[in-house]
Homo-oligomer: A and B are copies of this chain.
Amino acid sequence: MDLDSLAQHCGEWLRGTGPDSDIVMSSRIRLARNLAEFPFPNRADTAAKSEIETLISERMKALSQRQKLNYIRVSDLNALDRQFLVERQLISRELSEGSGPRGVGISDEENISVMINEEDHVRMQVIHSGFALDDCWAEINRVDDLLEHEISFAFDDRLGYLTACPTNVGTGIRVSVMLHLPGLVLTKDIQKVFQALQKLRLAVRGLYGEGSQAMGDFYQISNQVTLGRSEEDLIKTIKEVIPSILKYERRARETLLLENREGLHDQIARAFGILSSAQTITTEETLHLLSSVRMGVNLGLIDELQIPAINELLILTQPAHLQKVRKKPLESAERNIARASLLRQRLTAREHETN
């Protein structure tokens, strides 16, 4: 799998073709698994990690007829390439910043990724565009079964799957949905959503998972509990709560339009104007403005642009992506210039023609 060619486009989950993709960016399920006969990665030495990596990556190859996974040795990559995979949501920050032998198997469409030697020996994830948890669940179940056929995972009859961190013990599942909630942020109702989710023991995180700040009105909703409830039950909790958030967000947008259409249109149009003309721009401001523009497209206030193009820009304007496209390391100030240039090129018809 060639990272340079990956940098030119985006995975399936960003195409914005899934259900409710005006608000739901993506759905994701990941499972944590460990080999019974090895210490957890945080206790394993390099030799053991190497053995684990070889074992699992070999098994991945073995099942290539039923599920092809392109294997990338993350421990061989430089910091830029690792960051690049984090930005594409194919590996976690933990795997990127870890030490010792580790890697990831990625499907061609980038929907499936299987990390080796992250916090657990195996972390597999399936990600899809829009609100599509059933698809994610069906697919990850299949991948899990395929792997389990080859590998014996640590499992306790009473506790379930054993994991390095007790918060993952049991099902080892994390079900998450990435939502774009600019309306609720503008009406200041977003805190109410957070409170309701907390009562359901669901976590809210930013664009890049655990510890990351919510930027550009993107929020990841996921389960905190993994023990004592079935996978289906945990998925059901999230599946049931999301539609009310969607309804709430859509109502917020309607209210904003009703109460101050001109003001909302102005904010959105200016965001588009700045993105199309800036000569230097940070990641944070880009996310913030793209968020406004994304809502504007969904509300029919901007017609120059489609949702997939915006979703793609959310990823392509990230630091490592910019450097992969330019094929050279760029300092922060240079990245801000490259980012502005990419945005102008993609957003203005005029520059499109001349470029």
User: Which residues of A pack against B, CB within 8 Å?
Assistant: 262-263, 265-266, 269-270, 272-281, 333, 337, 340, 349-350
Contacts and interface: CB of A to CB of B under 8 A. Distances in A.
B278 A269 contact: yes
A340 B266 contact: yes
B265 A270 contact: no
B278 A273 contact: yes
A136 to B, nearest CB: 38
Contacts of A333: 262
A36 B9 CA distance: 83
A146 B281 CA distance: 60
A341 to B, nearest CB: 11
Contact of A270 (B262, B266, B274, B350): B274
22 contacts: A262-B280, A262-B333, A262-B337, A263-B280, A266-B279, A266-B281, A266-B340, A269-B277, A269-B278, A269-B279, A270-B274, A270-B278, A270-B279, A272-B277, A273-B273, A273-B274, A273-B275, A273-B276, A273-B277, A273-B278, A274-B274, A349-B350
Nearest to A281: B266
Contacts of A350: 349
Contacts of A274: 270, 273-274
A-B pairs with the 8 shortest C-beta distances? A273-B277, A266-B279, A273-B273, A269-B277, A265-B279, A266-B280, A269-B279, A273-B274
A343 to B, nearest CB: 11
A117 to B, nearest CB: 42
A353 B349 CA distance: 14
Contacts of A273: 273-278
A340 B278 CA distance: 19
A4 to B, nearest CB: 27
A19 B346 CA distance: 40
A269 B274 CA distance: 8
A296 to B, nearest CB: 11
Nearest to A302: B277
Nearest to A272: B277
A284 B353 CA distance: 35
A278 B281 CA distance: 19
A105 B147 CA distance: 92
A278 B265 CA distance: 8
A279 B274 CA distance: 13
A339 to B, nearest CB: 12
A280 B262 CA distance: 7
Nearest to A340: B266
Contacts of A272: 277
A12 B177 CA distance: 62
Given A273-B276, A274-B274, 14 more contacts: A262-B279, A262-B280, A262-B333, A266-B279, A269-B277, A269-B278, A269-B279, A270-B274, A270-B278, A273-B273, A273-B274, A273-B278, A276-B277, A349-B350
A301 to B, nearest CB: 9
A208 to B, nearest CB: 27
Contacts of A340: 266
Nearest to A350: B349
A350 B272 CA distance: 15
A275 B274 CA distance: 10
A150 to B, nearest CB: 54
